[in-house]
Amino acid sequence: MPLLALHDVRKAYGALQVTDGISLSVEEGETLGILGPNGAGKTTLFNLVSGDVRADSGRVEYAGRDVTALPPHQRCRAGMARSYQVPQPFGAMTVFENLVTAACFGGRQPERAAWETAHDVLRETGLLPHANRPAGALTLLNRKRLELARALATRPRLLLLDEIAGGLTEHEAQELVAELRRIKARGVTMVWIEHVVHALLSLSDRLFVIDFGRKLAEGEPQAVIADPQVRRVYMGVEA
Ligand X SMILES: Nc1ncnc2c1ncn2[C@@H]1O[C@H](COP(=O)(O)OP(=O)(O)OP(=O)(O)O)[C@@H](O)[C@H]1O
Contact residues: ligand X, CB under 6 A: 13, 16, 18, 36, 38-44
Q: Which of 6, 35, 151 is nearest to 87 (CA)?
A: 151
Min separation Cβ 106 and ligand X, Å: 23
Strands 158-162 and 80-82: parallel
Min separation Cβ 219 and ligand X, Å: 20
Min separation Cβ 42 and ligand X, Å: 4
Whichever of 36 and 156 has its CB closer to ligand X, that residue is 36
User: Cα separation of 147 and 152, whole Å?
Assistant: 9
User: Cα separation of 138 and 211, whole Å?
Assistant: 34
Whichever of 54 and 73 has its CB closer to ligand X, that residue is 54
Whichever of 129 and 167 has its CB closer to ligand X, that residue is 167
Whichever of 17 and 94 has its CB closer to ligand X, that residue is 17
Min separation Cβ 116 and ligand X, Å: 35
Strands 31-35 and 206-211: parallel
User: Cα separation of 233 and 51, whole Å?
Assistant: 29
